[in-house]
């Protein structure tokens, strides 16, 4: 007897109320907005995820309308990291009750060779949500959206200058790395000596092997370490759903974004050791990872482009199977007996 939970991450690409300006003079017409929430609602129905983390939400009202366009998630619980209509925020929808939420805006102080890096806030605050998925069974989900690879330029510079482009890319990389370090600190503080499963999801804007992404997950302990030291490392180590799936598959088609002909996996789901099969004390494990990326277009090969009412990211869904406890088996057995007694 196994209980299944499906979790997904979805970058909704600027989910903004109709006729509201964003990024300068951009705005959705009523028609484009209705197409957007209809298409994205259909994607949610394809995903059929019980818990979904969202990125690039400008208005909570728009998110509620989009989620209610999904037959599968309609009427679900929704929380968001204070979208203000001026900048994108992360959010979460759950079919299961939400027990607790927390928003993280501040970054820890970080210095390089004695020089303090003057980055003190996440570009998009991180959302922490504690969800009750069954009797005495909870998961903690963190939704994040780190700084993109888009160059950050200084004032009054020639953006076509290759040197300025390099500086701009470096600035973005530094911010993304600092944000990754901040997220890692939040995760470690939560996970230490905590036996409830942790799930991290979101658009991390880099591949699973990139330095910033590995900062978040942590590195596995060296094989020659003492077992007690390994246990401490495993306690705060997070495992990529992509890697777990790759161990079971002969081919890897994991990409969630295409830019200038580069097929990249920017959207990730990670889990703590409580959901890893190799852990003898695991209470569940990832059985499958699905990528919904058929709508993505390689614009170096096609004259088509992605409409503004779709998303330029693929969606990721991980299926998690939980072990059933003795109490759950006993309750299930009692329920079966009651059903049989009602027949007589």
The values of phi and psi at residue 335, to 5°, are -60, -40
Distance CA 272, CA 279 (A): 10
257 neighbors 148 (Cβ within 8 angstroms): no
* Higher pLDDT pick, 162 / 263: 162
Task: Give the pLDDT confidence score for residue 209 in this predicted structure.
Answer: 87
Confidence of residue 230 (pLDDT cuts 50, 70, 90): confident
264-284: average pLDDT: 91
For the domain covering 2-100+198-342, report its CATH number: 3.60.10
Distance CA 49, CA 51 (A): 5
89-93, 243-247, 288-292, 301-305: which has the highest mean pLDDT?
89-93
Confidence of residue 271 (pLDDT cuts 50, 70, 90): very high
315 neighbors 51 (Cβ within 8 angstroms): no
* Higher pLDDT pick, 296 / 66: 66
Residue 337 has pLDDT above 70, yes or no: no
Quick one: how far is CA 224 from the chain centroid?
33
Distance CA 196, CA 245 (A): 22
* CA distance to 42, 164, 171, 173, per residue, from 152 (Å): 34, 9, 6, 9
Task: Give the pLDDT confidence score for residue 109 in this predicted structure.
Answer: 85
* CA distance to 136, 137, 275, 280, 283, per residue, from 327 (Å): 10, 12, 20, 20, 14
Distance CA 254, CA 271 (A): 17
Rounded to two decimals, the pTM is 0.90
Confidence of residue 334 (pLDDT cuts 50, 70, 90): low
Counts for the chain of helices (H) and strands (E), in that order: 7, 16
The string of pLDDT tens digits covering residues 108-154 is: 888 888 888 899 999 999 999 999 999 889 999 999 999 998 999 98
**E strand intervals along 16-88:** 51-57, 77-80
The string of pLDDT tens digits covering residues 166-205 is: 999 999 999 999 999 999 999 999 988 788 999 999 999 9
The string of pLDDT tens digits covering residues 18-65 is: 999 999 899 999 999 999 999 999 999 999 999 999 999 999 999 999
Produce one character per residue of 221-250: b if its CB has 16 or more CB atoms within 10 Å, e if not: beeeeeeeebeeebbbbbbbbbebbeeeee
* CA distance to 176, 243, 244, 269, 284, per residue, from 240 (Å): 19, 5, 7, 6, 15
The string of pLDDT tens digits covering residues 280-289 is: 889 999 999 9
The string of pLDDT tens digits covering residues 310-325 is: 999 999 999 999 987 7
288 neighbors 242 (Cβ within 8 angstroms): no
Residue 255 has pLDDT above 90, yes or no: no
Distance CA 37, CA 63 (A): 8
Beta strand 51-57 with 2-15 is parallel
Task: Give the pLDDT confidence score for residue 1 in this predicted structure.
Answer: 45
Produce one character per residue of 284-316: b if its CB has 16 or more CB atoms within 10 Å, e if not: bbbbbbbbbbeebeeeeeeeeeeebbbbbbbbb
């Amino acid at each position: 007897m196994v209980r299944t939970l499906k979790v997904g991450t979805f970058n909704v690409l600027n989910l903004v109320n109709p006729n509201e300006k964003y990024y300068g003079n951009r705005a959705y017409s009523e028609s484009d907005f209705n197409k957007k929430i209809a298409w994205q609602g259909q994607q949610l129905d394809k995903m059929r995820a019980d818990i979904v983390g969202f990125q690039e939400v400008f208005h909570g009202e728009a998110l509620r309308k989009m989620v209610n366009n999904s037959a599968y998630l309609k009427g679900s619980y929704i929380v968001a990291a204070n979208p203000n209509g001026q900048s994108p925020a992360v959010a979460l929808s759950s079919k299961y009750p939400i027990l607790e939420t927390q928003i993280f805006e501040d970054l820890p102080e970080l210095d390089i060779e004695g020089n303090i890096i003057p980055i003190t806030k996440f570009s998009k605050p991180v959302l922490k949500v504690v969800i009750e998925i069954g009797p005495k069974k909870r998961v903690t989900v963190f939704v994040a959206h780190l700084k993109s690879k888009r160059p950050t330029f200084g004032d009054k510079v020639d953006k076509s200058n290759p040197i300025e482009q390099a500086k701009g890319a470096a600035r973005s990389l530094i911010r993304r790395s600092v944000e990754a370090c901040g997220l890692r600190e939040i995760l470690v503080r939560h996970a230490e000596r905590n036996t409830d499963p942790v799930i991290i999801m979101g658009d991390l804007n880099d591949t699973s092997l990139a330095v910033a992404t590995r900062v978040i997950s942590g590195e596995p302990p060296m094989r020659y370490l003492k077992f007690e030291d390994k246990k401490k490392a495993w306690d705060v180590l997070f495992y990529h759903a992509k890697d777990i799936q790759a161990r079971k598959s002969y081919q890897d088609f994991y990409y969630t974004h295409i830019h200038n002909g580069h097929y990249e996996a920017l959207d990730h789901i990670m889990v703590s050791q409580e959901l890893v099969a190799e852990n003898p004390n695991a209470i569940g494990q990832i059985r499958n990872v699905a990528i919904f990326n058929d709508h993505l277009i390689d614009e170096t090969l096609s004259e088509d482009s992605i409409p503004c009412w779709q998303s330029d990211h693929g969606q990721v869904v991980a299926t998690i199977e939980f072990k059933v406890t003795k109490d759950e088996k006993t309750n299930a057995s009692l329920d079966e007996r009651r059903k049989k007694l009602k027949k007589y």
